[in-house]
Structure 1
Amino acid sequence: MAVFEIGLVSLLLLYTFYKWATLKYSTFKDRGIPYEKPWPLVGNTAAVLLNKEGFSKNILKFYNRNKNHDIVGYFNFRSPVFIVQNPEYIKKMTVGDFDYFVNHTPFFAADDDPLVNGMLTVMKDKRWRDMRKTLSPVFTASKMRAMFSLMNECFTESLDRLRAETKGGKSYDVELKGWFTRLSNDIIASTAFGLKVNSYVNPNNEFYAIGQAISQFRGVQMIKFFISNTMPVIQKLLKFKVFDKDKTDYFKQVVIGTMKHRQEQKINRPDMIQLLIEAKEESDQNWSDDDIVAQCFIFFFAAFENNANFTSAICHDLMENPDIQSRLYEEVLGVFEELNGKPLTYEAVMKMKYMDMVTSETLRKWSIAAMTDRLCSKDYDLKDEEGNLVFRFNAGDYIWFPLIGLHNDERYFEDPDEFNPERFSDMNKENIKSFTYLPFGVGPRMCIGNRYALMQAKAMMYYMLLDFKIERTSKTVENIMDDIRGFQVNPIGGFWVRLVPRK
């Protein structure tokens, strides 16, 4: 009898768990939206969680199967997400009717860490508007120009190490993701946190080690992220945070300590901390130290991996397309000769037209962010150009815009698998359909740091091509997209290339 009762209770618990795990799975059927059958608890993300494919490929495949639907349902774990795929509707929702979609979807459902909730990307409504207004002057061209000298120091240290490895004309096989992650780390340490770090001389420095631990969603941190997004009640009961407290405390101590030291010693340095101090003083908002630390943290969180992925992807595409690499080298060489021995400048970087075409095409092809998201803040009727009702969104609905799908849709970009910078020539880029190319997001909530990311990637490519040809090695991954796992453009086999010195 006891065995029977135990079995009955077990079945009851299993049934209860199943009902809870699939509680929202009738959403799209009830609301007349096409969707694909989800797995219990993990929704349509099973292949990503089982490490069979990357999130980018998962979203791209889903888009290609459903591209003829203007709106399609996707289950992100247990949460129903409305994927809006029509560029005209994306424009209406993110620009014309932005007030209905001001906020991003919750980042970590049950995390009350002020460092997480204080990040610009997580802030909501008026608080977000006020912080965006405060931060906007920090990312102007003039401020990027002032910060460029700090970046140049980091480029020099990275290139010096590569030159040492290729001394005497020998080639050098290097895994670029790891190499550029160290560069990204040093640049962020210098430009955002006011620290002098050389991750090539000291590869195990604390700033780099903590950055790696925070930015890579694998192992225990992936489990925490999964629980936070699917079972926030359990996260509250267990009282854990997605980011370990000792690591977030490290960033707080660095930023607050640096701010205090500079104010006491009247030190002025053209980096992010200095700009944030000035922005805080000039703002009519009473921002706390935690608010300022949070902006440095999101700057780190957004740039650490993404900038390294971006630059690695550019190199990979140039390796695969030697004719394009040669043309870009000619432009780089021309700029070098114009500088006549002077250091590279922000203005010189920004004037390279073919460099801009190449980086734009890389962002299209790889879509460093596979999608961008919004939260519907109040009931909203989406209407077509004739005023007919398309769909009624409810307050609280999650919405995604599939950037990687749009960027690789042959209806908008002919032969999307081909790497073709000419799409972004002065003559051709005007023909790109509006709201189909959105590498840094869309509308008022697009990435505020896009100038910074482009400046870093273009400058590093200038230095790389000036000194080296980029060629294939025996370790080079044949198909990057098939080799990516997790949520980053980061192939398992790495971004291996051979650098051949030009002199």
Structure 2
Amino acid sequence: MVFMELGLVSLLLLYIFYKWATLKYNTFKERGVPYEEPWPLTGNAGAVVLNREGINKTILKFYQRNRNHDIVGFYNFRSPMFVVQNPDYIKKMTVKDFDFFVNHVPFFKSEEDALIDGMLTVMKDQRWRNMRNTLSPIFTAAKMRTMFSLMNECFNESLSRLHDATKGGKSHDIELKGWFTRLSNDIIASTAFGLKVNSYEDQNNEFYSIGQGVVNFRGKQMLKFFISNTMPIVQKLLGFKVFDAEKTDYFKRLVIDTMKYRQEHKIHRPDMIQLLIEAKEESDQNWSDDDLVAQCFIFFFAAFENNANFTAAICHELMENPDVQERLYEEALEMREDLNGKPLTYEAVTKMKYMDMVTSETLRKWSFAGAIDRLCSKDYDLTDDHGNVIFKFKAGDCVWFPVVGLHNDERYYEDPNSFNPERFSDANKDNIKPYTYLPFGVGPRMCIGNRYALMQVKAMMYYMILDFKFERSPKTVENIMDDVRGFQINPIGGFWVRIVPRNQ
């Protein structure tokens, strides 16, 4: 009898859990939006959760199956996402009618941390506008120019290690993601936190180790993130945070102590901490220290992984496309001659047209952000050019714009699987349909640090292409995207390539 009662209670609890896990799964049916049947709790992202494929591949396959719908429903775990796939509607919603879609969808749904809440990407409404206005002067070309010298120091250290590995003209197999992650770490430490770090010499330095723990969503941290997004009530009951307090406290102490020391001793260094100090002094907003620390943190969070992926992907594409590699090498040679022995400058980086074409095509093909999200802040009628209502959004609706789908749609990019920098030549780039190329987001809420990312990646590629050829290694993965799992571009087999020193 007792066992029967326990069995009935268990069945009742399972039924309650099932109903809760699928509570929102009638949303699209009720709103008249086409969708695919979701799995309980994981929605349409089950293959990602089960570690069968990466999130970008899931979004791309979903887009390709449903691309003829202007709006289609995707269940991101338990959350219904209205996926807007028509570029004209993306323009209306992110630019013309931006006031209805000012904010991002909350990433950490029950997080109560000043560091998280203060990040520019998390801030909402007027508070976001105020911080954006405060930060915008930091990311101008003039400010990037002053920061470039700090980057150069990090480039030189990375390159000297590669030269040591290829002494005597020998080739060297290298896992690019790990290599460029260390470079990205050292650049961020220097340009954002005012810290001198060498992650090639001291591979387990504190800044690198803590940073890896923050950005790598695997194991325990992945589980905490999953609970935060699907069961925020459980997270509150258990009282844990996605980011461990000791890790976030490390960044807080680092920034605040550095700011105080510089102000007390009148020390000036052309990095982000200095620019934040100046921005705070010039702003009419009463920003707290936590607010400023949060901007350094999101800078780290956004740049650490993405910039390493970006640089590794370019090297991989150059390896796969020797003709592109040779042309980029010729442009780099011309730039070196123009510099006439002087070090590379920010202006020189921006003048390399073919480099820009190569980086642009890499961003298109790889789409490091698979989708861009927005939160509908008030009821909104999406209309066509004739004023006909296409769809009625409600306040609280979560929206996705499928970047990886648009970037790989043959209606917009002929033979999208091929790597063709000519798409972005002066003769061709104006033929790209607007709002089908969104590597850094779109509208007023697009990534504020795009100049920084492009400056770092282009400069490193300039140095590397001058000194090395990229060839296939026996360890090179045949199809990188098929080898990626989870929410980040981390192929199981790594980003292996063989570097061969050029005659110098």
Opposite residue 183 of structure 2, the aligned amino acid is: L
Partner of 1:399: helix, strand, or coil? strand
- For the residue of structure 1 that corresponds to 2:337, the secondary structure is helix
CA distance in structure 1 between the aligned counterparts of 2:77 and 2:187, rounded to whole angstroms: 35
Whether 1:359 aligns to 2:352 is no
Q: 2:18 matched to which residue of 1?
A: 18
Asked if 1:378 is matched to 2:378, the reply is yes
CA offset at residue 489 of structure 1? 1.8
Equivalences for residues 281-360 of structure 1 within 5 A: 281-360=281-360
In the aligned structure 2, how far is the partner of 1:492 from the partner of 1:349? 33
Cα distance in 2 between the residues matched to 1:27 and 1:263: 54
- How far, CA to CA, are the matches of 2:364 and 2:49 in structure 1? 25
**CA distance in structure 2 between the partners assigned to 1:252 and 1:274 by the alignment:** 15
CA displacement at 1:70 relative to structure 2: 0.3
Residue 408 of structure 2 is matched in structure 1 by: 408
Could you give the per-residue CA deviations for residues 164-210 of structure 1, whole angstroms, max 9, x where no partner exists?
A: 11011111100000000000000000000000001111111000001
CA displacement 1:400-431 (0-9 Å, x = unmatched): 00000000000000000000000000010000
Q: Hey, what's the Cα distance between the residues in 2 that align with 1:450 and 1:487?
A: 21
Are residue 41 (structure 1) and residue 51 (structure 2) matched? no
1:90 aligns with 2:90: yes
Distance apart, 1:341 and its partner CA: 1.1
2:466 aligned with 1:458: no
2:361 is paired with a residue of what secondary structure? helix
Is 1:156 the equivalent of 2:153? no
Q: Distance in 1 between matches of 2:70 and 2:80?
A: 16
Equivalents in 1 of 2:467, 2:346: separation in Å?
A: 19
SS in 2 for 1:150: helix
Amino acid across the alignment from 2:22: T
Deviations 1:453-500 (A, max 9, x none): 000000000000010001001000000110011111221111100010
Deviation at 1:96, TM superposition (A): 0.3
User: Alignment length, in residue pairs?
Assistant: 503
Per the normalisation by structure 1, the TM-score is 1.00
Q: Is 2:72 the counterpart of 1:68? A: no
| 1:228-263 alpha-carbon deviations (Å, 9 max, x no partner) | 000000100111000000000000000001000000
Aligned AA (2:263): Q
What's the secondary structure of 1:448's corresponding residue? coil
Q: CA deviation at 1:115?
A: 0.3
Rounded Cα–Cα distance in structure 2 between residues aligned with 1:359 and 1:487? 22
* 2:206 aligned partner: 206
Deviation at residue 3 of structure 1 after TM alignment: 1.6
> 1:289, CA displacement in angstroms?
0.1
Alpha-carbon distance in 1 for matches of 2:126, 2:264: 32
Matched-pair identity in %: 78
Number of the residue aligned with 2:137 = 137
The Cα RMSD (Å) is 0.5
Tell me the amino acid that sits aligned with residue 81 of structure 1.
M
CA distance in 1, matches of 2:427, 2:491: 34
Q: Distance in 1 between matches of 2:408 and 2:481?
A: 13
User: Which residue number in structure 1 is paired with residue 81 of structure 2?
Assistant: 81
Measured in 1, the distance between the counterparts of 2:6 and 2:490 equals 46
Measure how far apart 1:8 and its partner are: 1.1
| Secondary structure of the corresponding residue to residue 368 of structure 1 | coil
The one-letter code matched in structure 2 to 1:363 is L
Amino acid at match of 2:71: I
Counterparts in 2 of 1:110-149, with a 5 A limit? 110-149=110-149
Tell which deviates more after alignment, 86-95 or 487-496. 487-496
Matches of 2:280 and 2:477 in 1, distance apart? 46
2:187 maps to: 187
